[in-house]
Amino acid sequence: RRHLLGLQDLQRDEIELILDHAAEFKKLQQSRVKLDHLRGVVVANLFFEPSTRTRTSFSLAAKRLGADTVDFTASGSSVSKGETFIDTALTIEAMGVDLVVIRHSSPGAPEMLSRHVKCGILNAGDGTHEHPTQGLLDAFTMREKLGSFEGKTVTLVGDIKHSRVARSNIWALTKLGAKVIVCGPATLIPPGVERLGVTVAHRFDDVLQESDAINLLRVQFERQRGAFFPSIAEYAHLFGMNGDRLRRAKPNVLILAPGPINRGVEITPDVADGPNSQILQQVSNGLFVRMACLHLLARRQQQLQEAR
């Protein structure tokens, strides 16, 4: 594949290849071996939406592999003078860029870009569509702790409707063999989501005890159209992960959150900072997953350039 646009189109063995490759990079980094897999490769980070984790992680992953990096944010760029999205990308590509990492508020923006440029595209989150490297790093973190997904239940809690993380988690985890439950108020569960192979629950307490891992999605206040129902206080009461719920869950349940977290809404600080929390482990693992994705796509890009 030339691009990483989402996990929907990836086969199980392709997902496993990325996770295995990430595990190799994790081992190499622990032994502090200097890596140069991307020497001579130029990676551009094009972020049209805010980011802390993903942008920093991609940038660091590229540098750890010896690539040159360019960081572009829409604010302060010629986008403010009316330059189009495609013209912006073509301009950056013309500087000799091999791989473009892109975050955009419009679903499908990375796919559209992939039809206009020769370089490889990595989707770093497009609107409510997909966030493939988040889905991969979540799966990596769970697989590392659970061993395998066979017979395991992963519950995604919260704003499924607006969550690109939920979609990428669903594609990855169902393909890897997990039972996936999506749980949230009816207003935040998209109709027909069962067709993606998941089970729907509207009461968190009903699915708490069977969950081996719980991924707490952020309530995306910025993507809510009109009234948000239930209220934030009701949401925290009905769907928030707190100390009481943790005591009723499996003792070793993994608590994940893609971040940024709304402390006191989807998760209370004692759980976010407690022993079951994988939140910072997810961030650390994200680096290795992105190293793997960048390396695999750079290799493919090199094959294509040699064939031209």
Kindly state whether residue 125 participates in binding ligand CP, applying the rule CB under 6 A: yes
Stretch that binds ligand CP, among 84-92, 167-175, 185-193, 255-263 (CB under 6 A): 255-263
152 binds ligand CP (CB under 6 A): no
Q: Which of 3, 26, 104, 131 is an active site residue?
A: 131
Question: Residue 286 Cβ, how far from ligand CP at the closest point, in Å?
Answer: 8
Q: Can you name the residues that pair with 155 across neighbouring β-strands?
A: 181, 214
Cβ contact 175:16 at 8 Å:
no
In one-letter notation, the amino acid at residue 232 is I
248 among annotated binding-site residues: no
Q: Is 262 in the site for ligand CP (CB under 6 A)?
A: no
Q: Of the listed pieces 50-58, 84-92, 265-273, 300-308, which binds ligand CP according to CB under 6 A?
A: 50-58
151 labelled ligand-binding: no
Looking at the chain, the number of H-run helices and the number of E-run strands are: 11, 9
Count of residues engaged in binding ligand CP, rule: CB under 6 A? 10
- Whether 2 has a binding-site annotation, put simply, is no
Q: Is 54 in the site for ligand CP (CB under 6 A)?
A: yes
Rounded Cα gap, residues 69 and 85, in angstroms: 20
Select from 45, 69, 88, 134 the one that contacts ligand CP (CB under 6 A). 134
- Is 81 tagged catalytic? yes
- In contact, 163 and 128? CB cutoff 8 Å: yes
202 flagged as catalytic: no
For 175, residues 6+ apart whose C-beta sits below 8 A from its C-beta are 7, 10, 11, 12, 15
Q: Which residue has the tokens 């935040």?
A: 188
Match 């439950």 to its residue by tokens: 181
List residues near ligand CP by CB under 6 A: 51-54, 125, 131, 134, 258-260
